[in-house]
Amino acid sequence: MFAAEGFGQQQAPAFGTTNTSYQIINDTEFNPLYSSDSFFRGFSLNAIAGSGIFDAPIHLPDGALLTYAELDFCDSNTSGNHLGIAIWDLPAIGTSPPVDLQDLGSVSNVSQPCASVSADMSGLNYTVDNKNHRLFVGLLFNAFDSTNQITAVVIGYKLQVSPAPGSPSFNDVPISHPFFQYIEALKASGITGGCQASPPLYCPDNPVTRGQMAVFLAKALGLSFN
């Protein structure tokens, strides 16, 4: 279970494309899909009786690569299939049905009070697009009772650098340049305008002063909002 491993030790920095970062969706963020579904909350989401669906939005940075999903739960009833989890992709506009990106399967006959199910989603190569798509996590309770408790859902993701554009912004950084993609990402993010405006040059082989480094880092990290 993710919580047992220690979230503080697992959480990656907010920046960088190598490590996985995690978003925790707590039980209080889930809502019933139907008004007839009854539940109560303490430090977990407890179903009352019957069956129902609960969902919660997933909020990740644009361009992030979805890599991991985990459900942490408790279920002391050892008979029957009680719980399922899925990650849904919905179009931002329109009434199209959600696409089931990842189904983590059904939890059944749990022999210990608390456990977790997880899935590696990196093989989907799903890139977050908040303008055109909405991500949700859905929980399906099947014949649930007060022994079924949801503590949290964990979503893992990695940041990415935008794909290279089709044409260069700087005359001295052609598309064949080994750093073309990364220089264009800096330009598109407003971190640099290059070393010369007309003609537009980046001067990729020039040394960077400490003053220029301060500009790059402050703009890239969005430092100091006091």
User: What's the CATH number where 14 sits?
Assistant: 2.60.120.260
Of the candidates 158, 173, 204, which is a domain's last residue?
A: 158
Asked if residue 207 and residue 99 are part of one domain, the reply reads no
Output the pLDDT for position 5: 40
Of the candidates 141, 158, 175, which is a domain's last residue?
A: 158
Interval 68-116: pLDDT, tens: 999 888 776 666 556 778 899 988 777 777 888 888 766 665 666 677 8
Contacts by residues 124-127 (CB-CB < 8 Å, ≥ 24 positions apart): 124/66, 125/65, 126/65, 126/66, 126/89, 126/101, 127/63, 127/64, 127/65, 127/66, 127/160
The Cα 98–Cα 66 span in angstroms is 17
Asked if residue 172 and residue 68 are part of one domain, the reply reads no
Output the pLDDT for position 92: 79
Domain extent at residue 208: 161-226
Asked if residue 85 and residue 59 are part of one domain, the reply reads yes
Asked if residue 173 and residue 137 are part of one domain, the reply reads no
Domain count, the chain: 2
Asked if residue 89 and residue 169 are part of one domain, the reply reads no
Output the pLDDT for position 1: 45
Asked if residue 122 and residue 19 are part of one domain, the reply reads yes
Of the candidates 158, 182, 209, which is a domain's last residue?
A: 158
Give the E-state strand segments of the chain in sequence order.
Answer: 21-26, 31-32, 39-41, 45-47, 50-58, 65-75, 81-91, 99-108, 114-120, 133-144, 148-158
The encoded tokens of residue 9 equal 């030790």
